[in-house]
């Protein structure tokens, strides 16, 4: 059981690292000024939304990886 939790934690940590890399990679388009609010199809707005989504997935995988390590600590006897 401990081996499976170690493997799961390592794999989930790698997946989280992948999503964090995706969140930080690429260049941001130039900011365009709008009078009231940015439209939903603005390239900069879309890039920020994409980065936030990748960060959310990375945080989720990272938390499940930490959960695996916490469960391993509970099973150590």
Mean pLDDT value across residues 3-29: 92
How does pLDDT run across 18-37, given as a tens digit for each residue?
999 999 988 888 888 888 88
Q: Compute the distance between CA of residue 17 and CA of residue 24 in angstroms, rounded to an integer.
A: 11
Q: What residues contact residue 40 under an 8 Å CB cut-off, 6+ apart?
A: 46
CB atoms within 10 A of CB 16: 20
pTM of the model: 0.81
Query: What are the sequence ranges of the domains in the chain?
Result: 1-27+66-77
Res. 77: pLDDT tops 80:
no
């Amino acid at each position: 059981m401990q081996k499976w939790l170690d493997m799961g934690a390592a794999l989930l940590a790698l997946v989280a690292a992948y999503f964090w890399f995706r969140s930080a990679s690429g260049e941001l388009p130039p900011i365009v000024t709008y009078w009231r609010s940015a439209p939903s199809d603005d390239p900069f707005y879309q890039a920020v939304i994409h980065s936030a989504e990748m960060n959310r997935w990375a945080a989720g995988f990272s938390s499940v990886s930490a959960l695996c390590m916490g469960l391993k600590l509970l099973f150590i006897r």
